[in-house]
C-alpha cells in the first residue's frame, strides 16, 4: 500500500485551482448534527496565538496529477469537508452583505476549482444524493421541502452563528480556519488500499457505522477483483443508498443477514457476519488471500441486554423449506444485484411504498404496531417472488400474531428469532408453515383478553393504541375502504379522562376531574389513564368548556364525531375509573375476535 500523507491547512487543501474533491454517489447523506458542528466551530475559536489545530484526516483516491482538473475521490472525510465548505460559503455570503467584496472574493476562490482555460466548478462536489439540496441551500432556495434535514439544519445553524458575529470576530475566525486548522490528507493510488485504509482510521466525527464498514469492505474487495467489478460495486452501492433513503441502513443489513443466515443476529455481529457471508457466497472471493479470516464469527454479548436466542434452536419445525441461499456460490455482480434488490424491498416495506394500496395499508398497520422484527421475513418473501394475494394473507396473520405477543409482553428476542427462522420457508408457498410457526408461539385468547384490558398504552406505543382503536372502529362500521378518515393525520388518540388533571391550568382546560373522579383520584389516575378503555379516536380539535361535570362537557364534542367508537361514549351518563375497567373489558372481547389465533 503506497500512501502519500500531507499535513495541509484549509488554504492549502482548498487552494489548488486544478484539484476538486468529489463525494461519489455511493456515499451516504450528510449526517453531522449540531454537536459535531459546534465542536468544529469551538475548536477553531479556541486556537491560541500561532498554535494549530488538527481537524482530522481525509482519504483521497488520487491518480497521478495531470494538467487540467484532477478529481480526487473522497473515500473518507465527506462530513468534515462538507461542513468546512458550508462554513466558507456562509462566511462569503455574510461578507458580501457587509460590503466586504474583496474578502468575499478571496473566500470564493477557495470554494471553486478552475484549471487554466477551464470552467469554474465547486471545490467540493457532491455527486451524492445530497447534491441538489446542497445547491438549493447555498442559494437559500426553500421552494421545495428538503429530505436531508441534517444538511438543512447545518446551513441554518452556521448562518445563525455567523450572523451573531461581528466582522472583527468573523475575520479572526476565518483566518484561523484558513491558516491554523490542519487536515492530514492521505492520498492513495489504489482503490483497494483506499477503502481498506478507511476502516483503520479513527476520525473525529461520527463513529463508523456498520453500513460504512460494509461499504468499504465491499468496494475494497471489488477493486481487488477488477476495475469493472469496482465500477459495478460503486453503481450498485449508489442504487442501494437510494433504495434505503429514509430508512436505517444498519437495520437493513441486520435483517438482510438474518434472512440469509436464518438466525437472529445482534447489532455487534452485523459486520463480521456480512464479511463471512461475502466470503462464502461470492465466487471471486475464494482467491482473496485473507479469506480464512472470515470463516468463523465469534459470539458477542447482546447489545440490548437481553439473552441471545439462536433461531436454529427453536422448537418450531419449518416445513416446505428451500435450500439456504448462503451455501450457493454466485458471481460478484449477482451478489450485488441481490443485495440491491433486497434493499429495494426493504425500503418499500419500511416506508410503506409498494405499488399495491392494500399491501401498503397492512404495512402501515405493522408500523403502528411496531413490528420491526418482521422485516427480514417479509423481505425474504418479496425477494423470493411471493404473490400479492399470498403476501396479503401473511400480513394479516402477522398483524394478529405480533400484536398478541406485544400486548402479552412476550420476549422480543424470541419473536425476532422466529422470524429469522421463517426465512427458510418457500416464499412462493409460505402459508401453512407460517401459520404453524405462529400457532406455536401465539398467546392464548384468555391471556390476550386479560392483558389487552390491562395494558398501558403510554406515549411510546400510542400508535399501537391508535391501530387497535381504528380496527375496532372498522369492525363496528362493517366496512374498510369507505372509511377514509382512518389513517389520516388529523385522527389522533383521545384520552377520555385527561392525561393531566392536577394543576390549575389542567382544571381550567379540562374541568375539575379530581373532584369528579372522587376519593383517591390522584393516586388511581396513573393506573387507569393509559388503558384502552380510557382511549378513543377523534378527528380535529377537541374544544370543551370546563364544568362541574367535565365528562358531560366532553360528550358534547364526542356527539359530533363520525366515528362509532367515539359516539358510543355519548350514551354513558358518567365516566370514572369503573367505566374505564368495564370498557376495557368490552374492547378486549372485541380484540379477541378481530385478531384471532392463527
What tens digit of pLDDT does each residue of 156-204 get? Answer: 999 999 999 999 999 999 999 999 999 999 888 777 667 766 666 544 4
What tens digit of pLDDT does each residue of 564-575 get? Answer: 999 999 999 999
Q: d(Cα 258, Cα 327) in Å, to the nearest integer?
A: 14
pLDDT at 319: 41
Going by pLDDT thresholds of 50, 70 and 90, the confidence category of residue 487 is low
Going by pLDDT thresholds of 50, 70 and 90, the confidence category of residue 290 is low
What tens digit of pLDDT does each residue of 502-557 get? Answer: 888 777 777 889 999 999 999 999 999 999 999 999 876 666 655 667 888 888 88
| Predicted TM-score (pTM) of this structure | 0.81
Q: d(Cα 568, Cα 578) in Å, to the nearest integer?
A: 17
Q: Is 165 exposed, middle or buried (0-12, 13-18, 19+ CB in 10 A)?
A: middle
The yes-or-no verdict on residue 155 having pLDDT over 60 is: yes
Q: d(Cα 256, Cα 368) in Å, to the nearest integer?
A: 22
Going by pLDDT thresholds of 50, 70 and 90, the confidence category of residue 383 is very high
By the 8 A CB rule, do 352 and 363 touch? Answer: yes
Angle, helices 357-369/462-477, rounded to nearest 10 degrees: 130
488 or 227, which is more confident?
227
Bridge partners of 185?
6, 58
Going by pLDDT thresholds of 50, 70 and 90, the confidence category of residue 24 is confident
Q: d(Cα 492, Cα 477) in Å, to the nearest integer?
A: 18
Q: d(Cα 282, Cα 329) in Å, to the nearest integer?
A: 6
Q: Which of 257-261, 416-420, 555-559 has the lowest mean pLDDT?
A: 555-559
Closest to 262 in 3D by CA, of 437, 440, 443? 437
pLDDT at 548: 64
Q: d(Cα 290, Cα 24) in Å, to the nearest integer?
A: 28
Q: d(Cα 440, Cα 458) in Å, to the nearest integer?
A: 29
Q: Enter the C-alpha cell of residue 84.
A: 468546512
Q: Enter the C-alpha cell of residue 531.
A: 388503558
Q: Residue 268 gets which letter from DSSP?
A: G
In the 3-class helix/strand/coil scheme, how is 29-97 assigned residue by residue?
CCCCCHHHHHHHHHHHHCCCCCCCEEEEEEEEECCCCCCCCEEEEEEECHHHHHHHHHHHHHHHHHHHH
Q: Tell me the mean pLDDT in the region 362-380.
A: 96
| 195: Cβ contacts below 8 Å, ≥ 6 apart | 75, 216, 217, 219, 220, 223
Positive or negative, the CA dihedral 418, 419, 422, 424 is negative
pLDDT at 301: 41
Q: Tell me the mean pLDDT in the region 14-27.
A: 89
Q: Residue 322 gets which letter from DSSP?
A: P
Place of cell 378486549: 588
Q: d(Cα 460, Cα 35) in Å, to the nearest integer?
A: 26
pLDDT at 199: 62
Q: Please count the CA atoms within 13 angstroms of the CA of 270 that sit on its side-chain side.
A: 19
By the 8 A CB rule, do 193 and 230 touch? Answer: no
Phi and psi, residue 126, nearest 5°: -90, 100
- pLDDT > 90 in the chain, percent: 63
**Which helix (DSSP H) or strand (DSSP E) does residue 170 occupy?**
helix 167-179
Strands 70-76 and 19-23: parallel
344 or 64, which is more confident?
344
- How does the average pLDDT of the chain come out, rounded? 87
pLDDT at 200: 62
Q: Which of 98-112, 284-298, 454-468 has the lowest mean pLDDT?
A: 284-298
**End-to-end CA gap in the chain:** 58
pLDDT at 313: 41
| 397: Cβ contacts below 8 Å, ≥ 6 apart | 434, 435, 438, 598
Place of cell 473515500: 75
In the 3-class helix/strand/coil scheme, how is 217-246 assigned residue by residue?
HHHHHHHHHCHHHHHHHHHHHHHHHHHHCC
Q: Tell me the mean pLDDT in the region 309-330.
A: 49
Q: Which of 80-89, 466-475, 479-488 has the lowest mean pLDDT?
A: 479-488
- pLDDT > 70 in the chain, percent: 87
Going by pLDDT thresholds of 50, 70 and 90, the confidence category of residue 477 is confident
pLDDT at 304: 38
The yes-or-no verdict on residue 294 having pLDDT over 60 is: no
290 or 49, which is more confident?
49
Going by pLDDT thresholds of 50, 70 and 90, the confidence category of residue 257 is very high
DSSP string, 410-476: --HHHHHHHHHHGGGB-TTS-HHHHHHHHHHHPPPHHHHHHHHHH-B--GGGHHHHHHHHHHHHHHH
By the 8 A CB rule, do 186 and 5 touch? Answer: yes
pLDDT at 77: 86
Q: d(Cα 416, Cα 377) in Å, to the nearest integer?
A: 10
pLDDT at 544: 63
| 286: Cβ contacts below 8 Å, ≥ 6 apart | none
**What are the boundaries of each domain within the chain?**
3-202, 227-443, 453-594
Residues in the chain: 598
* Largest separation between any pair of C-alpha atoms in the chain: 87
Closest to 390 in 3D by CA, of 344, 418, 356? 356
Angle at 325 between CA 321 and CA 327, to 5 degrees: 110
Q: d(Cα 115, Cα 113) in Å, to the nearest integer?
A: 7
pLDDT at 492: 86
The yes-or-no verdict on residue 152 having pLDDT over 70 is: yes
Going by pLDDT thresholds of 50, 70 and 90, the confidence category of residue 34 is very high
pLDDT at 311: 40
Amino acid at each position: 500500500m503506497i500512501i502519500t500523507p500531507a499535513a495541509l491547512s484549509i488554504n492549502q487543501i482548498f487552494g489548488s485551482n486544478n484539484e476538486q474533491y468529489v463525494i461519489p454517489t455511493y456515499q451516504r447523506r450528510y449526517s453531522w448534527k449540531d454537536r459535531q458542528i459546534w465542536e468544529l466551530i469551538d475548536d477553531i475559536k479556541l486556537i491560541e496565538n500561532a498554535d494549530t489545530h488538527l481537524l482530522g484526516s481525509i482519504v483521497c483516491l488520487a491518480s497521478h496529477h495531470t494538467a487540467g482538473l484532477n478529481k480526487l475521490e473522497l473515500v473518507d472525510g465527506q462530513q468534515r469537508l462538507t461542513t468546512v465548505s458550508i462554513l466558507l460559503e456562509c462566511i462569503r455570503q455574510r461578507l458580501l452583505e457587509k460590503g466586504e467584496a474583496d474578502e468575499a472574493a478571496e473566500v470564493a476562490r477557495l470554494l471553486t476549482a478552475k484549471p487554466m482555460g477551464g470552467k469554474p466548478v465547486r471545490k467540493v462536489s457532491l455527486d451524492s444524493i445530497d447534491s441538489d439540496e446542497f445547491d438549493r441551500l447555498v442559494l437559500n432556495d426553500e421552494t421545495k421541502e428538503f429530505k436531508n434535514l441534517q444538511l438543512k439544519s447545518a446551513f441554518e445553524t452556521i448562518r445563525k452563528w455567523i450572523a451573531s458575529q461581528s466582522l472583527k470576530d468573523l475575520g479572526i475566525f476565518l483566518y484561523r480556519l484558513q491558516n491554523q486548522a490542519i487536515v492530514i490528507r492521505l492520498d492513495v493510488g489504489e482503490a483497494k488500499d483506499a477503502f481498506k485504509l478507511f476502516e483503520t482510521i479513527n476520525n473525529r466525527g461520527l463513529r463508523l457505522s456498520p453500513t460504512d464498514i460494509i461499504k468499504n469492505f465491499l468496494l475494497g474487495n471489488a477493486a481487488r477483483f477488477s476495475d469493472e467489478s469496482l465500477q459495478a460495486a460503486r453503481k450498485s452501492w449508489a442504487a442501494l443508498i437510494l433504495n434505503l433513503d429514509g430508512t436505517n441502513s444498519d437495520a437493513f443489513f441486520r435483517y438482510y443477514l438474518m434472512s440469509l443466515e436464518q438466525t437472529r443476529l445482534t447489532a455487534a455481529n452485523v459486520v463480521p457476519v456480512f464479511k463471512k457471508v461475502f466470503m462464502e457466497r461470492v465466487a471471486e472471493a475464494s482467491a482473496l488471500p485473507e479469506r480464512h479470516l472470515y470463516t468463523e464469527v465469534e459470539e458477542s454479548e447482546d447489545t440490548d441486554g437481553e439473552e441471545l436466542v439462536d433461531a436454529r434452536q427453536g422448537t418450531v419445525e419449518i416445513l416446505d423449506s428451500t435450500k439456504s441461499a448462503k451455501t450457493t456460490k454466485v458471481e460478484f455482480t449477482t451478489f450485488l444485484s441481490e443485495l440491491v434488490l433486497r434493499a429495494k424491498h426493504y425500503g418499500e416495506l419500511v416506508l410503506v411504498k409498494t405499488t399495491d394500496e392494500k399491501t401498503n395499508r397492512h404495512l402501515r398497520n405493522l408500523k403502528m404496531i411496531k413490528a420491526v422484527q418482521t422485516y427480514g421475513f417479509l423481505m425474504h418473501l418479496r425477494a423470493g417472488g411471493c404473490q400479492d394475494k399470498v403476501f396479503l394473507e401473511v400480513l394479516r396473520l402477522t398483524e394478529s400474531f405480533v400484536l398478541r405477543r406485544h400486548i402479552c409482553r412476550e420476549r422480543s428476542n424470541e419473536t425476532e428469532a422466529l422470524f429469522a427462522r421463517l426465512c427458510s420457508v418457500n416464499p412462493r408457498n409460505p402459508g401453512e408453515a407460517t401459520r404453524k410457526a405462529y400457532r406455536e408461539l401465539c398467546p392464548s385468547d384468555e391471556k390476550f383478553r386479560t392483558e389487552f384490558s390491562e395494558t398501558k398504552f403510554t406515549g411510546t406505543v400510542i400508535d399501537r393504541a391508535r391501530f387497535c382503536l381504528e380496527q375496532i372502529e372498522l369492525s363496528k362500521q362493517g366496512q374498510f375502504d369507505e372509511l377514509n378518515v382512518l389513517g389520516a393525520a388529523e385522527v389522533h388518540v383521545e384520552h377520555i379522562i385527561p392525561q393531566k388533571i392536577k394543576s390549575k391550568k389542567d382544571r381550567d382546560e379540562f374541568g375539575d376531574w379530581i373532584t369528579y373522579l372522587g376519593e383517591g383520584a390522584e393516586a388511581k389516575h396513573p393506573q387507569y389513564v393509559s388503558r384502552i378503555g380510557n382511549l378513543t379516536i377523534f378527528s380535529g380539535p377537541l374544544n370543551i368548556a370546563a364544568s362541574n361535570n367535565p365528562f358531560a362537557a366532553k360528550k358534547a364534542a364526542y356527539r359530533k364525531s363520525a366515528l362509532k367508537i367515539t359516539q358510543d361514549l355519548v350514551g354513558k351518563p358518567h365516566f370514572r375509573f369503573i367505566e374505564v375497567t368495564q370498557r376495557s373489558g368490552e374492547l378486549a372481547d372485541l380484540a379477541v375476535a378481530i385478531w384471532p389465533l392463527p
